[in-house]
Structure 1
Amino acid sequence: MPYQDVFVLFWDQVKESIHEGRFAKLTMAKTIGKPNLKNIFVRPIYSKEDFKVLVKLRYASKETEDEEKELSLEDAFNFLKSHLKTSFSTVLLFTTTKDVTFKINKKDAGKITENVPTFRDVTQAKK
């Protein structure tokens, strides 16, 4: 299955974990090539009005300062999707019940695997 379709299925698990209050963190890893952008981290910001995420871009060079953006879930999806295959080939979802890994292989196919949870508790991002 093309990685774009599998990523939508993966994102459904992200939304489900948020809805159930199990979303701990999301990380984009496994860079493609040698980009300055090293990782993208996504942490939850729960509030009574709505749900947002804090997206942190971590760079390899010390000269480039890390960036943070507060985004809606839909904006975060589009932002992360734009970095698939161009900067990163792996996305890790950490929830309190399981870890879910999305990977793109060399044939542009997506794959989702599940493992035991790394996190026991949800830690909100600090603004």
Structure 2
Amino acid sequence: MDQVRFSARPGFGGGFGVHDSVSGDWCTPATLVEQVAVEFADDLNAREAATGHPIEEVRYGVPKRVQRASWAPAGTIDVWVYDTNSKPPQWIGRVRDEAGGVEWCPGADLRPADGPVSTAE
């Protein structure tokens, strides 16, 4: 079985979070639903495998609606990844559209839309 860098792990209090085996740090709060943590870990592992470059830093934030530079709705952003292999290095946001599709977009191309999104189910 291949070793993966990011994994979903149970936290204290019954929630789950994403853990980085390289830094030894948690990338998210350990308050997520298990499926959300698993999908996020899979996204990060796939991104790192696709680019062939290590992810330098991950910042998980309160999900917010965003627009693309075309100022059209893009979806909801919940994660920022710092990509030092870009020229110049830049922050890239994980944006999920209403159909559930995920796209990684340069931070310079994104703007806030309507504010925070409720994550309560």
| TM-score past 0.5 threshold | no
What TM-score bracket applies, with the shorter chain setting the length? under 0.3
Structure with greater helix percent: 1
